[in-house]
Amino acid sequence: MDGGPGADAQDRLSVDDLVKVYAIDDQFLQLRIESGSPLLPQTLGQALLQCRFGVIVVAVSRPSRGDAAVKPALVQTKYRAGDTL
């Protein structure tokens, strides 16, 4: 099980697994975007979180049909209420 991009869903590493593998648990935070957040309806690129706060968003977890899909954070990713960064 390598967990790479071409791996089957059941073979992919979870976010928690990746945090442990890369030993970044002391530097890794998950933040949830609530409705009414000033981040809405901005994109990752528009929010400038790295420039303004030194925050690097690596992924966005978006609930869909009872399962939270984790996707890479892209500059064109538009934030939605309920997203976890």
Q: What is the pLDDT of residue 68?
A: 66
For 34-43, write each residue's pLDDT tens digit.
999 999 999 9
Structure pTM?
A: 0.68
Question: Torsion-angle region of residue 52: left (phi > 0), alpha (psi -120 to 50) or beta?
Answer: alpha
Q: Report the alpha-carbon distance of residue 54 to residue 72 in Å, rounded.
A: 18
Determine the residue type at 1.
M
For 10-41, write each residue's pLDDT tens digit.
566 777 787 888 888 888 888 899 999 999 99
